């Protein structure tokens, strides 16, 4: 039953996502596919996955224990804090902290997590900002 509830909520969210994507204005610098293609793709994948949960639910799903649910909730709060701090701290610093925390919770040692967080942050910055020329949130250090 819980899989079907999850699937129904996911399907509603994907429909909401599609609706919100239709509100994205066209830019004068638009490419051939336009600014809505990526959100439509994400919504389609989410809708298909949700439909799968509606059609073939797990007969006896295993829910995580309370401690694991709290950990998932805290990871979600870290992502919300990441979104809030991104304009203040900038992309590189915010991403380094978020990636380090999340990899640590996924099982890396603290030192590995810091290295992964910094490496992920700088790698994404290099690809998106330096190579592709996309604008990322600037922090107090100017990058």
Give the SS3 label for residue 38: helix
The pLDDT tens digits for 79-104 are 999 999 999 999 999 999 999 999 99
At which residue do the structure tokens 């590189």 appear?
92
Q: Which of the four pLDDT bands, split at 50, 70 and 90, describes residue 30?
A: low
Pairwise CA distance, residues 100 & 112, whole Å? 8
DSSP string, 54-119: HHS--SSPPPPPHHHHHHHHHHHHHHHHHHHHHHHH-HHHHHHHHHHHHHHHTT--HHHHHHHHHH
At which residue do the structure tokens 């006896």 appear?
60
Tell me: pLDDT of 10 over 80: yes
Predicted pLDDT of residue 29: 64
Q: What percentage of the chain exceeds 90 in pLDDT?
A: 62
Predicted pLDDT of residue 139: 83
Pairwise CA distance, residues 73 & 63, whole Å? 14
The pLDDT tens digits for 41-70 are 999 999 999 999 999 888 887 888 999 989
């Amino acid at each position: 039953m819980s899989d079907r509830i999850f699937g129904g909520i996911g399907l509603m969210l994907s429909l909401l996502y599609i609706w919100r994507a239709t509100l994205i204005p066209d830019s004068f610098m638009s490419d051939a596919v336009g600014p809505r293609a990526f959100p439509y793709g994400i919504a389609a994948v989410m809708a298909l996955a949700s439909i799968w949960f509606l059609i073939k639910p797990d007969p006896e799903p295993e829910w995580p224990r309370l401690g694991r649910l709290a950990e998932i909730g805290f990871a979600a709060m870290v992502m919300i804090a990441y979104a809030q701090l991104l304009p203040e701290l900038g992309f590189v610093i915010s991403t380094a902290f978020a990636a380090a925390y999340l990899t640590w919770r996924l099982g890396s040692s603290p030192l590995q997590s810091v290295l992964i967080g910094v490496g992920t942050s700088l790698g994404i910055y290099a690809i998106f900002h330096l190579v592709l020329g996309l604008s990322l949130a600037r922090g107090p250090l100017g990058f």
